[in-house]
């Protein structure tokens, strides 16, 4: 058995690979060999570590030292300091933003220490391309238990008692879905996995498939046994090549080990598993549309009932669970329902994985107990907005989710509480927005996506989303009317009530929530032709406050249209006729001397309500 002084767990998930993991790995190998350490140190390529914004990242075991933002240039120094001189290399460690002190251990870094890992239990700890490493961490023990020591009723009872709800968006009780399918008499049934993950900014399922593919397969084996299915499919989008590669490899390894195929573990139970590549249609995340796509047809939803548990893939009883749901199954079977319910709330049990993105310091993948305050995720784990910016809202639930304002940050993250805000938990996307964000423009952005992705089968979604989008476009271009706000609300509610599937039933959420919490921005766009965030170009004028301008020239250098003039150390001016309202000057100014005014503003800008100098602001605060 190989024994190494140190195991270098180098993240090789998609995010870190894109940031240079391959070159870092090669540099590490070269340096370790050059120093004569190749028999003492082992490099292991793992799946996603979760701290995506800091990639490439590396964890050194057994020391548990965490390094981030690795570069080829720093590798020689890292190897020399840590592995020759025995002192961890502080330069590549995480630093506290304010104190600038290094935190060597991963478990002490704020991004990690508030997390509880169940779905992501193996992240950064195993080579996802070696089944032996999964087995070494209790892999396939739950499948063995389910197949050899539990009845179908036992399996379903444990899952039902755990309170596990589908993590794909709808939040339907998983055990109940399995129970329905198990009671239907049919010679052919199907166990399906939804790895399509179409939400912009979401990468939870991709990361699990890349980092721990066997956890998904084990969950499918147990589910197949529970419902009586002998065939299964993993539906995964073709845009996930690394996930597809590792899933194929995992299926081959599990089949060779007797964990898939005929007579699994000599129990007489058969289960064949295949991968089906989707073409990236958002609507195929809906279960009936996904099944039509699997059949080789156009992915379009159908009315329910009948539900897939009775009439699903090829009109046979079928169960579809998403990747995260299936990855929860093995620990539940192994540890019991009470163990799982020890985290979360009564109706929202266990943990949930979220993809934290947007205008926030710590972008990445996080797993937290259900019921945790939203503020803890945004600030304690995510590190809050970038320096100098203020939190404005967080979009939850993907493009069909809703925007939650700062006033509601202390709500617990449960299915019920999030729905009460007008948003949804969805599959787990969290897009953070700061005060640079126009909420009308945000609603328009998400409507563009859902309107484009509508399959067109039902009129409310096909026509309704297009009307909503046209109205939002008019508002952002200065053509809005005061009655438009009420029309948006009425039409949005009608689309929700009458659409065929989940896409149409949730598409208006971004509009409804932004009007609910940021109605003043809609009114400003319509009444004053003013986008206060300076995003909607037709509703924006930029003006330099001479009292604040230091004449540093940053705005002048950043202006692509040469619309700024001025001498060094003297106040600059914007030539409005040349300004293309791109915000470059506003972003470049460090002294907040550039103000955002209504379109075609005339008069003395300093007298405009809401525009103040720093001196005036301080007086007001005093």
Least confident window among 110-124, 145-159, 258-272, 591-605: 591-605
Residue 564: strand pairing partners: 574
pLDDT of 622 strictly over 50: no
pLDDT value of position 503: 87
**How much is the average pLDDT of 219-233?**
98
Strands 94-95 and 102-103: antiparallel
pLDDT digits (tens, 9 = 90+) for 481-494: 999 999 999 999 99
Least confident window among 1-5, 43-47, 232-236, 334-338: 1-5
Mapping DSSP onto H, E and C, the string for 312-365 reads CHHHCCEEEEEHHHHHHHHHHHHHCHHHHHCCECCCCECEEEEEEEECCCCCEE
pLDDT of 605 strictly over 80: no
Q: Which of 304, 332, 328 is nearest to 318 (CA)?
A: 304
pLDDT of 11 strictly over 70: yes
pLDDT value of position 494: 96
**How much is the average pLDDT of 37-56?**
93
Give the separation between CA 246 and CA 127, rounded to whole angstroms. 10
* Confidence band of 69 (pLDDT split at 50, 70, 90): very high
pLDDT value of position 621: 33
* Confidence band of 606 (pLDDT split at 50, 70, 90): low
**How much is the average pLDDT of 106-112?**
93
pLDDT of 161 strictly over 50: yes
DSSP assignment of 112-159 equals: HHT---STTTTTTTS-TT-HHHHHHTTTTHHHHHHHHT--HHHHHHHH
**How much is the average pLDDT of 602-607?**
68
pLDDT of 611 strictly over 50: no
Q: Which of 87, 117, 136, 125 is nearest to 7 (CA)?
A: 125
* Confidence band of 416 (pLDDT split at 50, 70, 90): very high
pLDDT value of position 400: 86
Give the separation between CA 178 and CA 163, rounded to whole angstroms. 13
* Confidence band of 99 (pLDDT split at 50, 70, 90): confident
Cis preceding linkage at 305, omega within 30: yes
Least confident window among 157-171, 316-330, 385-399, 602-616: 602-616
Which residue, chain included where needed, has tokens 């927005």? 433
**How much is the average pLDDT of 182-187?**
96
* Confidence band of 130 (pLDDT split at 50, 70, 90): very high
Per-residue CA distances from 225 to 122, 155, 230, 240, 336 (Å):
24, 9, 8, 28, 17
pLDDT value of position 353: 96
Which of helix, strand or coil describes residue 36? coil
Give the separation between CA 415 and CA 207, rounded to whole angstroms. 23
Give start and end residues of each alpha helix (H) in 406-501.
415-421, 439-453, 459-476, 484-498
pLDDT of 218 strictly over 60: yes
Percent of the chain with pLDDT over 90: 86
Instruction: Share the mean pLDDT of the chain.
Output: 92
Give the separation between CA 28 and CA 43, rounded to whole angstroms. 8
pLDDT value of position 243: 95
Higher pLDDT, 234 or 503: 234
* Confidence band of 608 (pLDDT split at 50, 70, 90): low
pLDDT of 620 strictly over 80: no
pLDDT of 597 strictly over 60: yes
* Confidence band of 569 (pLDDT split at 50, 70, 90): very high
Give the separation between CA 385 and CA 379, rounded to whole angstroms. 8
């Amino acid at each position: 058995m190989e024994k190494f002084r140190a195991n270098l767990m180098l993240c090789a998930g998609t995010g870190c690979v894109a940031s240079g993991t391959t070159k870092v790995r090669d540099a590490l190998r070269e340096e370790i060999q050059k120093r004569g350490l190749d028999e003492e140190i082992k490099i292991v390529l793992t799946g996603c570590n979760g701290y995506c914004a800091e990639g490439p990242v590396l964890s050194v075991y057994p020391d548990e030292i965490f390094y981030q933002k690795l570069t080829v240039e720093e590798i020689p120094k890292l190897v020399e300091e840590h592995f020759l001189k025995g002192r961890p290399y502080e330069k590549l460690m995480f630093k506290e933003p304010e104190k600038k002190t290094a935190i060597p251990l991963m478990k002490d870094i704020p991004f990690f220490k508030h997390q509880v890992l169940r779905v992501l239990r193996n992240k950064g700890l195993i080579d996802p391309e070696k089944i032996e490493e999964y087995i070494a961490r209790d892999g396939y023990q739950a499948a063995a238990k389910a197949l050899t020591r539990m009845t179908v009723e036992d399996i379903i009872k444990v899952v039902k008692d755990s309170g596990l709800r589908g993590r794909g968006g709808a939040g339907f009780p998983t055990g109940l879905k399995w129970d329905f399918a198990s009671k239907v008499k049919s010679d052919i049934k199907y166990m399906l996995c939804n790895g399509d993950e179409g939400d912009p900014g979401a990468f939870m399922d991709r990361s699990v498939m890349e980092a721990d593919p066997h956890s998904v397969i084990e969950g499918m084996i147990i589910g197949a046994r529970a419902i009586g299915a002998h065939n299964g499919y993993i539906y995964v989008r073709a845009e996930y090549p690394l996930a597809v590669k590792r899933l194929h490899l995992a299926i081959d390894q599990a089949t060779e080990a007797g964990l898939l195929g005929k007579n699994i573990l000599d129990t007489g139970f058969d289960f064949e598993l295949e991968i089906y590549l989707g073409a990236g249609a958002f609507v195929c995340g809906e279960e009936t549309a996904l099944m039509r796509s699997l059949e080789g047809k156009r992915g379009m939803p159908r009315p329910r009932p009948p539900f897939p548990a009775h009439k699903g893939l090829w009109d046979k009883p079928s169960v579809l669970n998403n990747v995260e749901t299936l990855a929860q199954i093995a620990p539940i079977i192994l540890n019991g329902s009470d163990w799982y319910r020890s985290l979360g709330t009564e109706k929202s049990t266990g943990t949930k994985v979220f993809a934290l993105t947007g205008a926030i310091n710590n972008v990445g993948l996080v797993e937290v107990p259900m019921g945790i305050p939203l503020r803890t995720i945004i600030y304690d784990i995510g590190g809050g907005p970038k320096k100098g910016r203020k939190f404005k809202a967080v979009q939850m639930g993907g493009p069909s989710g809703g925007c939650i304002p700062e006033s509601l940050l202390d709500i617990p993250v449960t299915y019920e509480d999030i729905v009460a805000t007008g948003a949804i938990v969805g599959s787990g996307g969290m897009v953070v927005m700061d005060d640079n964000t126009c909420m009308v423009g945000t609603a328009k952005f998400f409507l563009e996506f859902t309107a484009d992705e509508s399959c067109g089968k039902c009129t409310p979604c096909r026509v309704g989303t297009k009307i909503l989008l046209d109205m939002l476009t008019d508002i952002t271009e200065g053509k809005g009317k005061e009655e438009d706000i009420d029309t948006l609300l009425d039409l949005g509610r009608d689309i929700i009530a009458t659409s065929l599937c989940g896409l149409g039933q949730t598409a208006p959420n971004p509009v409804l929530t932004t009007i609910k919490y940021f109605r003043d921005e809609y009114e400003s766009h319509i009444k004053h032709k003013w986008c206060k965030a300076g995003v909607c170009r037709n509703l924006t004028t930029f003006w330099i406050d001479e009292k604040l301008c230091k004449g540093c020239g940053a705005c002048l250098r950043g202006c692509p249209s040469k619309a700024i003039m001025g001498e060094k150390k003297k106040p600059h001016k914007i030539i409005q006729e040349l300004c293309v309202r791109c915000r470059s000057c506003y972003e470049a100014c460090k002294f907040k001397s550039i103000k955002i005014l209504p379109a075609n503003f005339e008069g003395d800008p300093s007298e405009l309500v809401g525009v103040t100098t720093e001196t005036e602001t301080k007086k007001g605060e005093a």
